[in-house]
Amino acid sequence: MKKALITGITGQDGSYLAEFLLEKGYEVHGIKRRASLFNTQRVDHIYEDPHVENARFKLHYGDLTDTSNLTRILREVEPDEVYNLGAQSHVAVSFEAPEYTADVDAIGTLRLLEAIRFLGLEKKTRFYQASTSELYGLVQEIPQKETTPFYPRSPYAVAKMYAYWITVNYRESYGMYACNGILFNHESPRRGETFVTRKITRGVANIAQGLEDCLYLGNMDALRDWGHAKDYVRMQWMMLQQEKPDDFVIATGTQISVREFVKLSATEAGISLEFSGSGVDEIATVTAVNADLAPEVSVGDVIVRVDPRYFRPAEVETLLGDPTKAKEKLGWVPEITVEEMCSEMVASDLEVARRHALLKAHGHHVAVSKE
Ligand code: NDP
Ligand code: GDR
**C-alpha–C-alpha distance, residues 44 and 48, integer Å:** 9
pLDDT tens-digit map of 236-263: 999 999 999 999 999 999 999 999 999 9
pLDDT tens-digit map of 170-220: 999 999 999 999 999 999 999 999 999 999 999 999 999 999 999 999 999
**104 in ligand 2 pocket by Cβ < 6 Å?**
no
**159 in ligand 2 pocket by Cβ < 6 Å?**
no
At residue 41, does pLDDT exceed 90? yes
Task: Say what angle helices 258-268 and 196-208 make with each other, to 10 degrees.
Answer: 30
**C-alpha–C-alpha distance, residues 70 and 64, integer Å:** 7
| Cα–Cα distance list, 348 to 42, 132, 207, 228, 343 (Å) | 14, 26, 14, 15, 9
pLDDT in the model for residue 296:
93
pLDDT in the model for residue 124:
97
Instruction: Please give the average per-residue pLDDT across 85-95, as a whole number.
Output: 98
Question: What percentage of the chain has pLDDT greater than the value 70?
Answer: 100
Task: Tell me the pLDDT band of 54, cut-offs 50, 70 and 90.
Answer: confident
Residue identifier of the C-alpha nearest atom 36 of ligand 2: 185
Altogether, the residues listed in the chain come to a count of: 371
Residue identifier of the C-alpha nearest atom 9 of ligand 2: 196
pTM for the model stands at: 0.98
Flag whether the ipTM exceeds 0.95.
yes
Which atom of ligand 2 is least distant from the CA of 216? 21
Tell me 173's DSSP state: H
Measured in angstroms, how far is the CA atom of residue 303 from the centroid of ligand 1? 30
Residue 232 backbone dihedrals phi, psi, to 5 degrees = -80, -30
| Cα–Cα distance list, 112 to 70, 73, 108, 179, 248 (Å) | 7, 10, 6, 14, 21
Q: Which amino acid is at 261?
A: F
**C-alpha–C-alpha distance, residues 351 and 190, integer Å:** 14
pLDDT in the model for residue 327:
97
Q: What is the CA radius of gyration of the chain?
A: 21
SS3 168: helix
* 310, 311, 313, 319 alpha-carbon torsion, rounded to 10°: 110
Task: Tell me the pLDDT band of 370, cut-offs 50, 70 and 90.
Answer: confident
pLDDT in the model for residue 52:
82
Task: Say what angle helices 67-77 and 108-118 make with each other, to 10 degrees.
Answer: 50
Query: Could you please report the per-residue DSSP string of 109-156?
Result: HHHHHHHHHHTT-TTT-EEEEEEEGGGT-S-SSSSB-TTSPP---SHH
The answer to whether 125 and 178 are in contact (CB under 8 A) is: no
Residue 328 backbone dihedrals phi, psi, to 5 degrees = -75, -45
Consecutive H or E run containing 84: strand 81-84
At residue 48, does pLDDT exceed 90? no
- Around ligand 1, the residues with Cβ closer than 6 Å are 7-8, 10-14, 31, 33, 35, 39, 63-65, 85-89, 104, 130, 132, 183, 185-186, 192
Residue 61 backbone dihedrals phi, psi, to 5 degrees = -70, 140
The answer to whether 71 and 43 are in contact (CB under 8 A) is: no
pLDDT in the model for residue 182:
98
Task: Tell me the pLDDT band of 111, cut-offs 50, 70 and 90.
Answer: very high
Nearest to 20, CA basis, from 216, 159, 175, 228: 228
How many C-beta atoms lie closer than 10 Å to residue 75's C-beta?
12
